[in-house]
């Protein structure tokens, strides 16, 4: 069953028409892209075309785009592929960064979830004085709150101390400009299914001079950087979604208007409502809404029963809800009451109206039950 109202684009965007068509074409090709016969060359042509389109989208070099199984593998390759480095990550990174290096040192953030640049400089200076090689990993936009990090400032600062910089741009791609040169980063992780491509395909783009130790061995694919036969069908869809992506980003102002209307109406109805990261730059499609006293899991289930798909923002892969480390680092005291509403290009005014109506009814029921308990 599909929810009539889908507002969980940060988890995964619907497959776009362009990606679907490209994948159907790729399905008809039997060859392995490493084979030299005609069918293999046809598969290689698809892979090379997609690689160029993805490189163009992020201001990278096609020869240095490494296809992976998704953003998680791209992040793991970036954090574990450099030898003999001390890793610094922000305290609000995605679990695929946080858990990739348990020995990483955490860079604190402020109440809006924005990285503390002064703290980072102190850490970089200490590492430099100790003769340590450093990799700094900071996401461009947070998957739970949408908060945008000053990655270019991080890059400038890190390079002053001779450090390399990795950026998880998975959630930002298609919603913000992602250009490796302008961001001053050495590596960028991206994923197809956030921009209307298929699930299970991503990429890590690296700058000249970055030498990675492969984490998956067993073949010479991806220039010996990542073994295994390339996912030609997924790559075809990724390339088509990337080609569509730049034009789609121009429509983000319409998405912003929908998100802002949603937040304005809800805030007027519920003065107790908190919006995480409200005081700083955020992705225009993302709202992290905290309704004190009502568990996020309860809200998600109530919305689902009404045909509206959202997320708690802190759900793990098992579907269970755990306390959000992002909101905890921001000092939010009622982090368990958060939900994430994330919009996309296909989101309509009617869908926002439906969400507002369902959410308002849900909150009203909760208020009435609370009042009845107090009266008793």
Class of domain 5-13+251-375: alpha beta
11-36 pLDDT, tens digit per residue, is 999 999 999 999 999 999 999 999 99
Burial of 287 (0-12, 13-18, 19+ CB in 10 A): buried
3-state secondary structure of 53: helix
Of 16, 167, 245, 316, which one is the catalytic site residue? Answer: 316
Angle at 268 between CA 265 and CA 271, to 5 degrees: 130
Average pLDDT over residues 216-228: 94
The confidence band for 322, taking pLDDT boundaries of 50, 70 and 90, is low
269-297 pLDDT, tens digit per residue, is 999 999 999 989 999 999 999 999 999 99
172-220 pLDDT, tens digit per residue, is 999 999 999 999 999 999 999 999 999 999 999 999 999 999 999 998 9
- Cα separation, 365 vs 131, in Å, equals 60
Q: Is 245 a catalytic residue?
A: no
Average pLDDT, the chain: 94
Q: Which residues pair with 42 in a beta bridge?
A: none
- Alpha helices, DSSP H only, in 95-208? 95-98, 117-129, 151-160, 180-183
- Cα separation, 197 vs 53, in Å, equals 13
134-166 pLDDT, tens digit per residue, is 999 999 999 999 999 999 999 999 999 999 999
Provide CATH code, domain 17-248.
3.40.640.10
- Rounded to the nearest 10°, the torsion over CA 297, 302, 306, 312 is -20
- Cα separation, 362 vs 347, in Å, equals 21
Domain coordinates in residue numbering, the chain: 5-13+251-375, 17-248
The secondary structure element, H or E, covering residue 309 is strand 308-309
Burial of 296 (0-12, 13-18, 19+ CB in 10 A): buried
Q: Backbone dihedral region of 31: left (phi > 0), alpha (psi from -120 to 50 degrees) or beta?
A: beta
Strands (E), 113-256: 134-137, 164-168, 187-191, 202-206
- Cα separation, 360 vs 269, in Å, equals 8
The confidence band for 317, taking pLDDT boundaries of 50, 70 and 90, is low
């Amino acid at each position: 069953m599909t929810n009539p109202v889908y507002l969980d684009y940060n988890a995964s965007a619907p497959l776009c028409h362009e990606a679907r068509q490209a994948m159907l074409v790729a399905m008809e090709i039997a060859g392995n892209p490493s084979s030299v016969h005609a069918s293999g060359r046809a598969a290689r042509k698809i892979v090379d075309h997609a690689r160029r389109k993805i490189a163009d989208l992020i201001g990278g070099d096609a020869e240095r785009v490494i296809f992976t199984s998704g953003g998680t593998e791209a992040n793991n390759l970036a954090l574990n592929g450099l030898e003999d480095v001390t890793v610094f990550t922000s305290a609000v990174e995605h679990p695929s960064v946080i858990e990739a290096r348990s020995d990483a040192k955490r860079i604190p953030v402020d109440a809006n979830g924005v990285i503390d640049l002064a703290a980072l400089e102190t850490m970089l200076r200490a590492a430099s004085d100790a003769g340590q090689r450093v990799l700094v990993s900071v996401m461009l936009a947070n998957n739970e709150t949408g908060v945008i990090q000053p990655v270019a400032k991080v890059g400038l600062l890190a390079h002053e101390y001779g450090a390399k910089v990795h950026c998880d741009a998975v959630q930002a791609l298609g919603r913000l400009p992602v250009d490796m040169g302008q961001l001053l980063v050495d590596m960028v992780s991206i994923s197809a299914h956030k921009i209307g491509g298929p699930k299970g395909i991503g990429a890590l783009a690296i700058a000249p001079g970055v030498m990675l130790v492969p984490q998956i061995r067993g073949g010479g694919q991806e220039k010996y950087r990542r073994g295994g036969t390339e996912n030609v069908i997924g790559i075809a869809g990724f390339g088509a979604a990337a080609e569509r992506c730049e034009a789609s980003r121009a429509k983000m102002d319409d998405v912003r208007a929908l998100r802002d209307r949603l937040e304005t109406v809800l805030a007027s109805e519920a003065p107790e409502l908190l919006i995480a990261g409200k005081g700083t730059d955020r992705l225009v499609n993302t709202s992290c809404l905290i309704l004190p006293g009502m568990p996020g899991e309860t809200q998600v289930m109530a919305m689902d029963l009404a045909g509206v798909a959202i997320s708690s923002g802190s759900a793990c892969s098992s579907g269970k809800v755990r306390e959000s480390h992002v909101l905890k680092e921001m000092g939010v005291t009622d982090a368990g009451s958060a939900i994430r509403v994330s919009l996309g290009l296909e989101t309509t005014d009617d869908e926002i109206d439906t969400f507002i109506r369902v959410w308002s009814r849900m909150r009203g029921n909760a208020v009435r039950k609370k009042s009845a308990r107090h009266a008793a």
